[in-house]
Amino acid sequence: MSQDRRYSFEFFPTKTDAGHEKLIATARQLASYNPDFFSCTYGAGGSTRDRTMNTVLQLESEVKIPAAPHLSCVGDSKDDLRSLLTQYKAAGIKRIVALRGDLPSGMGMASGELRHANELVSFIREETGDHFHVEVAAYPEMHPQARNFEDDLRNFVRKANAGANSAITQYFFNADSYFYFVERVRKLGVDIPVVPGIMPITNYSKLARFSDACGAEIPRWIRKQLEAYGDDTSSIQSFGEEVITQMCERLLQGGAPGLHFYTLNQAEPSLAVWNNLKLPR
């Protein structure tokens, strides 16, 4: 890592050539800030497998920032996963974000030979030893499909004990939920770094839909203020930047080991927060 704390940015693979060109241009802009790595998501059931790989390889070879592909086990056989790991290893990729993955519409839970993220982490270790730095997901406000918070904590412990090196959280807007989660997993014997996932606020309606789907709570005072701005995009972005900057300041002051920005393939919202925080570059 380039400093005591690590900072990273996440992209999603695009469906069009124009979108991909914009993604790479955004990555080049972000690369000038010397992040520790870029990550690239993986569609439900591996639906973006080839686009994810192509994006990751281009980020690594052309943009010259270490790239971490997301890898999910839902819908993929062990042979599929083994092939991907072999290709990533041969390309010099050193970091992987290991996830259970989202289920495509109509796909049953039985699809794929591995059912849970801890099984995927174990599989990566069995196949590649310590070659990859393995990231796993953490949910400070509980995974939306978990039965309860205690069960979700146990799931996280299983992933960590299977061989994860560190974790990235789902985004949140309440720093206390992050600190409470870290306190709980430390008491359960997990000492890997847990890096907060940060979602800049730029569009209220999209954020509300996405947050409702993934279980990220928007505090009532934030929601009401964003609603009050209506279609005033400038005010929404200004307020969002202030709220996220203040939360990040508190996270870092409280000992968070870095920040992972969900860019949605845009540079400016994340960089506004980065610059406000005067992070190293």
Backbone CA torsion sign across 150, 40, 118, 72: positive
Query: Residues 122, 163: contact at Cβ < 8 Å?
Result: yes
Lowest mean pLDDT among 92-106, 206-220, 241-255: 92-106
Name residue 138's beta-bridge partners: 169
Query: Residues 8, 39: contact at Cβ < 8 Å?
Result: yes
State the CATH class of domain 6-277.
Answer: alpha beta
H or E element that contains 200: none
pLDDT band at 174 (very low <50, low <70, confident <90, very high): very high
In the chain, which ranges are continuous DSSP H helix? 17-31, 49-58, 78-90, 117-128, 149-161, 175-187, 204-214, 220-229, 233-253, 268-277
**Quick one: which of 270, 273, 265, 271 has its CA closest to 41?**
265
**Quick one: which of 123, 117, 131 has its CA closest to 42?**
117
Report the predicted TM-score, pTM, of the whole model to 2 decimal places. 0.93
Looking at residue 67, the DSSP 8-state letter turns out to be: E
Lowest mean pLDDT among 16-20, 216-220, 264-268: 16-20
Mean pLDDT, all residues of the chain: 91
| Catalytically active residues, by annotation | 10
pLDDT band at 1 (very low <50, low <70, confident <90, very high): very low
